[in-house]
Amino acid sequence: MQLNKVTRRFALAGATTLISVSMLFSASAQEETIKIGVLHSLSGTMAISETTLKDTIEMLVDQQNEKGGLLGKQLEAVVVDPASDWPLFAEKARELLTVSNVDVIFGSWTSVSRKSALPVLEELNGLMFYPVQYEGEESSKNVFYTGAAPNQQAIPATDYFLEELGVEKFALLGTDYVYPRTTNNILESYLKGKGIAAEDIFVNYTPFGHSDWSKIVADVIALGADGKKVGVISTINGDANVGFYKELAAAGVSADDIPVVAFSVGEEELSGLDTSNLVGHLAAWNYFQSADAPANAEFIKTWKARMGEKRVTNDPMEAHYIGFNMWVNAVTAAGTTDVDAVRTAMYGQKFPNLTGGTAEMLPNHHLSKPVLIGEIQADGQFDIISQTEPVPGDAWTDFLPESAVLKSDWATLGCGMYNTETSTCVQIKSNY
């Protein structure tokens, strides 16, 4: 009996050891995925725009897994919700990099959320693809900016107002954070250089989620009391757009009276609006769902098959599509997901965009992108009325004196803020 007890004890110990080893192997197997961090707001004021981008990355991950994964491993999307809370973007970025151990992050919409995450990315040498138009005036080795810089959206849209629509007075309306303020600073300088008087430029900022637009719309209408043509350049973000466009319609303002060109309103935002009174107003992006190209038709077909016929595509989705596929190709070329190796392999990467051309990743971490002006239709889609050849993104604007002397070249100069007058690299520690 004693021997049987000893034998049984050893048998139990052996079984426990086998279970422990099995659990270790199981945990190890789970770590054998390549983890893709998704840092997009799924709640709060920006959920209207960002939830779709989370869905996009999950679709791209699944598509890559269907192709066999990457480097012999499956990809795994790790989703967090920073909840439109800007400091939370830093916290969630740190969680993705240190707890979830993701290999790359796709995320952020607003510049304040990107700038919140940036110090964490630089501290931990993480890599993030940022898919939304922004104000420029930044170049980090830890971010690839796949959305438009001002010279790929704001400046061409302003030129369209000046040259095609004959706008003489400008209302620059934006949400109160860094992207609208910096963009409008650039546009004010640009407009004054084009001969527009300071008193003919009306600038106004409102909080996220702002809903009472009656006075602001009245002020815009009053701007044209002297008979001069007024145009609105909108950097209003998130669900505040709903109230703004409703108030325009309520005031009887048509696109013929006061055209609006928006930089943050696309198909997703319009899908929640009654667009019957918005026909003729404009948006400037680098992609519209209505683009007539075989690659776009296939992308839309895949998206709707997955998400439903009512779901639309938009510009930041294309930016994620391009950025994700470039990252996959860079990882394949580097043979590793190591951030430094992938960064080097990213330079010069080319991938077909969804408008019939080719995007290229430049040494300044920006893409070459065509500029499209779209006119809102009654069905919530855009009629593309203007399209350029691909324009190289410029990290530092030519229209602010302090920025005009700067260039970004991470491939050759290893610097994102190189002063061409002094031939020196300005090192700035991110501290937002």
Run means of pLDDT, 10 residues per run, the chain, 432 residues:
43 44 40 93 93 98 98 98 97 98 97 96 98 95 97 96 97 95 96 97 96 96 96 91 88 94 88 81 96 97 97 97 98 98 98 97 98 95 95 97 96 97 79 38
pLDDT score recorded for residue 277? 75
- DSSP states of 220-275 as a string? HHHHTTTS--EEEEEE--TTHHHHHHHHHHHTT--TTTS-EEESS--HHHHTTS-G
pLDDT score recorded for residue 56? 98
pLDDT score recorded for residue 383? 97
Other C-beta atoms within 10 Å of 301: how many? 10
160 in Cβ contact with 373 (< 8 Å): yes
Superfamily for 34-149+292-373?
Answer: Response regulator (3.40.50.2300)
**34-149+292-373 and 152-285 have identical folds:** yes
Spatial separation of the C-alpha atoms in residues 3 and 10, rounded to whole Å:
11
pLDDT score recorded for residue 7? 43
Instruction: Quote the pTM value.
Output: 0.87
Domain ranges of the chain: 34-149+292-373, 152-285
pLDDT score recorded for residue 31? 61
pLDDT score recorded for residue 275? 84
Structure tokens at 73: 């491993």
Spatial separation of the C-alpha atoms in residues 194 and 168, rounded to whole Å:
11
pLDDT score recorded for residue 428? 59
CATH code, residues 152-285: 3.40.50.2300
Spatial separation of the C-alpha atoms in residues 308 and 311, rounded to whole Å:
6
